[in-house]
Amino acid sequence: MNNKIKVRSTLNDIRNFTNIPELRKGVIQEAPETPINGNFTVNSIANFLHPSVQYLKVKQVAEINRSTRAYILEPDAAHGTAKLAYYRPGQWISVTLNIGNAVVTRPYTLCASPLRSVEDEYMLIVSKKPDGFASHYIINNWKKGTEVVASAPMGNFYYQPLRDSKNVVAVCDNQGFTPFLSMAEAIADKSLNMDLTLIYSARKQAEAIMSQRFDELSENTPNFRIIYVFSDEHVFKCERGFVTKSLIEKYAPFTKYSLFVCGSNTLYNRLIPQISELKLENKYIRFGLNGQINTPEALSDFPQESIGKTFLCKVIKDGSLISTVPCSATESLLVALEREGIKAPSLCRSGECGFCRAKLLKGNVFIPHGVDNRRLADSSHGIIHPCCSYPMSDMTLVIN
Amino acid sequence: MSEKNYDIIVIGAGCGGLTAAAFAAKEGKKVLLLERHNSPGGFSSSFVRGRFEFDVSLHELCRFSNEAGLGELRILFDYLGISNKIQWTSIPEAFRLISRSYDGRKIDVAMPFGVEDFINAMEQYVPDSKESMTRLFKLGDEIEEATEYFAANETKMSFTELRHIMKKYGNFVKTAPYSVNEVLDALSVPKKAQEIFNAYWMYLGVDCDRLSFTHYISMVNSYVKLGAYVPTLRSHALSMALAGVIEDNNGEIRYNTHVSRILFTDGKASGVILKNGEKITCNHIIANCSPTTVYSKMMKKGDVPLSAIKRTNARTFGARGACVYLGLNRSPEELGIKNYSYFITDTSDTASQFALMKSIDTNTAQATVCLNIANPDCSPAGTTILCMTTLYTDNCWADITPEGYFEEKDLLAARLISKFEDATGITIHKYIEEIEVATPVTFARYTNTPQGVIYGYLGDDWDSIIPRFMTEELDCDTPGLRFCGGWGTQLSGVNSAVASGRNAAFATLGDISEERSEQNEQ
Ligand SMILES: Cc1cc2nc3c(=O)[nH]c(=O)nc-3n(C[C@H](O)[C@H](O)[C@H](O)COP(=O)(O)OP(=O)(O)OC[C@H]3O[C@@H](n4cnc5c(N)ncnc54)[C@H](O)[C@@H]3O)c2cc1C
Ligand code: FES
């Protein structure tokens, strides 16, 4: 043992030790009997920015073209949403839809400037997808007054000033223009400080959705400009062909720039080889999410022998078996659950957010390379993201 | 009784709740663990951005060792059978401290693990510190023995017992009432050595003028003696392993499940009501959430004992946290990062630093960790993971407007990054491939912790670990309800949360058998 230590005097030290309980009792005894303050101001901001659910109502519908509508949504105070959550341009909300027997979600980008959310307005632009499901339902059913249940704004595809170059060159097609519309609107009203050059690729001028609005913004906003590239027709002042390395370089600034890409898989597949030739560092290239993969069998690593097969998935929730669901090898497990009317959690449907997280107790799934964003410990504990997992055998799944 | 009656419901699956549920399930109790998030762990979690997986909170675990049976945490994990189910990474050195001394000079020291090496390094930086530092670590060992004794024996503080304690653990008794700085002064530790020795204070969030010496020396002694560890696959691996123990022992876990009320029958906790209205009954509840939340929001006014109201009103919240998670597109070697753990502060006077942390603008202090130094394979070749944590000692994040929030986040990140660059001379801002910023608002969102607090109640002098232990019965004034985790008796951090979870489980098991014997008597 150390030689005897004392802090004040041995006697005092011992007295102070034996007095410790009295000290604490004393402080508590002195405390007021007023009700405990449960008003947590920081949590109020958190709830405001990230509400667990947002109840919205369609305020206005505008027809953009035959298969595209713009929806203005407002908060539905009667259901408990007094204010809309603020967001970063490029973020999206996930809407929940009851379609027949099915309960499905779909993510849609918030297309307006975030400043408009302060004025109680969100804008979504929904295009009917050929062979689609939810998009058709929305376009056929949403009208003024329709109630919409949505998530808080989500997503990481936004301009981050500490990471990205202030000069951003973006490439989109008519399936991916929405984040850039929000960015351009925000640049115009000065709520976003960046320089954006958007290269919008389409077959024909008439297919470039929202081009009128983009043109207006481009004309009136010094930090935003738009360039169209049409593959199937010549248009004055527009490029002809596809987006290539040299086209990007033509419009890119001489200084460092970030490249943002958002659009269809066709766009990605065509662009990726071109981008690799640009020799940009990884950090300067960012892709928007492209949603669930509907034809996994087209991927080179898909186990071909499973095509056409159907399996059975036992679904366990809250400790009990709630259903046995047929599922096809070429459809995500999430879709199989939704078809059966099971309320399975999901948000991004792209493998990224982890919200659909479920435990595979038995069985095998195929997870396409590149969408497997599971945490390391999740992968090693049999956790999967059903939105990007495809059944390869009968299985047992625990959902939340 | 209905099928849904549980022996114990645990509210919250943070480290404390997971451990409590794991112990209770292992003892054969019917346990239900309810968690509002979609995965276990609370702060003990991770997330993916691009090519990187970031640990939300964990810097390093103490009281753990490579060797079975060595260190409190290791023993606990051995008992639960998870020590070998988790892959561990050992941390190579204690810390690098960059700060300013009381005489205005820059402090820049790198301290190793190992008592002898630590003392020798200190002697190099602060000549003539060796003798007092040696005494200090010896005192640390004595205190460790004493705390083991107290943990194992119920003490009544009778005169005879006190005499025994004084004889065996006299130095523990005589230092326990005091703060870190009071004892270091008494031991004549040179001021400059104190400044270095106090570097770990940010892990506890109380300045060394108030921080319990006993608590601090136990932590530092364990770090320096046993070294430190992290789960290789991030702290999420630990959470998943703990959840596995619960499931393997027939305990149930429900995620995405928000408890909104605690029910009482005849003055005793008897169940919970979920946000969706569902009611689940039980005989005992262990809450991993804050007592302030429970008493103010989850209980009927009449069910809250007056003593609980006064106790809660007497306490102050501990530090609120903020983190900047960086995925850099250069290797640590290319960047020049050599250390695992950097404590970077404006002043080594912890009370002044504590005051600077009251406001967003004046706070650049940070505990920054480079995971690659311990685990080179934690990110792809040619990249680096760097995580910066800072503390706020007030509710300054409540003054932000929602429209200004994202900009404020970026400003916070810029401030911490440039402080790191200034302090170390290492350029990082050019190499940011991924960045995520968590503020007190973020932590409030993910864990529902009041005001974004990450350290539970402030371990103020009167409310530090020793007073809490010596008056433990005071905090058990709500029958059928016990607390664990960062808001429990042992203050915050994974080590404390896990230990408090075990204690809450055993205390509740004790309650259950007491009730049973009462029933038998009747
Ligand atoms: C981050 C993000 C942002 C987006 N932003 C926008 C945007 O701003 N604007 C926009 O228009 N789109 C946007 N999308 C795409 C959008 O989310 C939808 O994918 C798109 O509208 C197509 O949906 P769909 O249901 O029509 O077609 P899909 O989802 O592509 O295809 C139909 C799917 O429904 C399933 N299905 C068929 N029948 C049933 C049934 N009976 N029950 C259950 N499931 C069934 C099918 O198996 C198939 O999986 C975005 C996507 C992401 C990922
Ligand atoms: S819904 Fe986002 S990962 Fe599956």
CATH superfamily of B5-88+232-314+461-521: FAD/NAD(P)-binding domain (3.50.50.60)
pLDDT in tens, B71-129: 999 999 999 999 999 999 999 999 999 999 999 999 999 999 999 999 999 999 999 99
Q: Taking CB atoms and an 8 Å limit, are A2 and B142 in contact across chains?
A: yes
Q: Taking CB atoms and an 8 Å limit, are A45 and B162 in contact across chains?
A: no
Asked if A287 has any chain B CB less than 8 Å from its own CB, the reply is no
Q: What per-residue confidence (pLDDT) applies to A19? A: 95
3-state secondary structure of B27: coil
Q: Taking CB atoms and an 8 Å limit, are A376 and B174 in contact across chains?
A: no
- DSSP string computed for A55-105: EEEEEEEEEEETTEEEEEEEE-GGGT--SPPP--TT-EEEEEEEETTEEEE
Residue A105: band (very low, low, confident or very high) from pLDDT cuts 50, 70, 90: very high
Q: Which of A335, A355, A356, A387 to mutate to test the pocket of ligand 1 (most atoms within 8 A of CB)?
A: A335
Structure tokens at A263: 């659009």
- Per the CB < 8 A criterion, the answer to whether B412 and B439 are in contact is yes
Pick the residue with more confidence: A65 or B157? A65
CA distance A244 to B236: 42
Say if residue B421's pLDDT is above 60.
Answer: yes
Choice among A345-359, B116-130, B462-476 with the minimum mean pLDDT = B462-476
CA distance B454 to B475: 21
Residue A1: band (very low, low, confident or very high) from pLDDT cuts 50, 70, 90: low
- Per the CB < 8 A criterion, the answer to whether A151 and A56 are in contact is no
Residue B1: band (very low, low, confident or very high) from pLDDT cuts 50, 70, 90: very low
Mean confidence (pLDDT) of chain A: 96
Q: What residues does each domain of chain B span?
A: 5-88+232-314+461-521, 115-224, 319-454
Mean confidence (pLDDT) of chain B: 95
Q: Which of B517, B168, A315 is nearest to A325 (CA)?
A: A315
Which residues does a 6 A CB cutoff place in the pocket of ligand 2? A 346-349, 351-356, 385, 387
Q: Give Cβ neighbours of residue B77 (< 8 Å, ≥ 6 apart).
A: B64, B83, B86
- Per the CB < 8 A criterion, the answer to whether B91 and B337 are in contact is no
Average pLDDT over residues B44-63: 97
pLDDT in tens, B140-156: 999 999 988 887 877 66
The DSSP letter of residue A264 is -
C-alpha A129 to ligand 2 mean position (Å): 20
In chain A, what are the domains?
45-150 (2.40.30.10), 167-287 (3.40.50.80), 297-399 (3.10.20.30)
Q: What per-residue confidence (pLDDT) applies to B151? A: 79
Provide, rounded to the nearest whole percent, the portion of chain A with pLDDT above 90: 96
Provide, rounded to the nearest whole percent, the portion of chain A with pLDDT above 70: 99
Q: What per-residue confidence (pLDDT) applies to B156? A: 66
Give ∠ CA A45-A49-A52 in degrees, rounded to 5.
105
Could you tell me the pTM of the whole model?
0.97
Q: What per-residue confidence (pLDDT) applies to B164? A: 85
Q: What per-residue confidence (pLDDT) applies to B3? A: 60
Segment (H or E) for B157: none
Q: What is the dihedral of CA A157, A163, A169, A175, to 10 degrees?
A: -10
Q: Which of B245, B282, B243 is nearest to B42 (CA)?
A: B243
Asked if A45 has any chain B CB less than 8 Å from its own CB, the reply is yes
Structure tokens at B191: 């001021």
CA distance B143 to B145: 5
Ligand nearest to the CA of A107: 1
Residue with tokens 């008592």: B115
Exposed/middle/buried for residue A68 (C-beta within 10 Å: 0-12, 13-18, 19+): middle
Q: What per-residue confidence (pLDDT) applies to A2? A: 62
Q: What per-residue confidence (pLDDT) applies to B26? A: 98
Q: At what angle do helices B402-424 and A41-49 cross, to 10 degrees?
A: 110
Average pLDDT over residues B487-511: 94
Residue B2: band (very low, low, confident or very high) from pLDDT cuts 50, 70, 90: very low
Average pLDDT over residues B403-419: 97
pLDDT in tens, B326-350: 999 999 999 999 999 999 999 999 9
**CB atoms closer than 10 angstroms to residue A166:** 16
- Look at the alpha carbons of B305, B308, B310, B312 in this order and tell me if their dihedral is positive or negative: negative
Asked if A193 has any chain B CB less than 8 Å from its own CB, the reply is no
pLDDT in tens, A158-171: 999 999 999 999 99
Atom of ligand 2 nearest to the CA of A354: 3
Pick the residue with more confidence: A91 or A265? A91
Main-chain phi, psi angles of B117, to 5 degrees: -65, -40
- B-chain CB neighbours of A46 within 8 Å are 441-442, 444-445, 452
Structure tokens at B346: 């404006």
Partner B, chain A 198-257, Cβ-Cβ below 8 Å: none
**CA B238 remoteness from chain centre:** 14
Atom of ligand 1 nearest to the CA of A349: 53
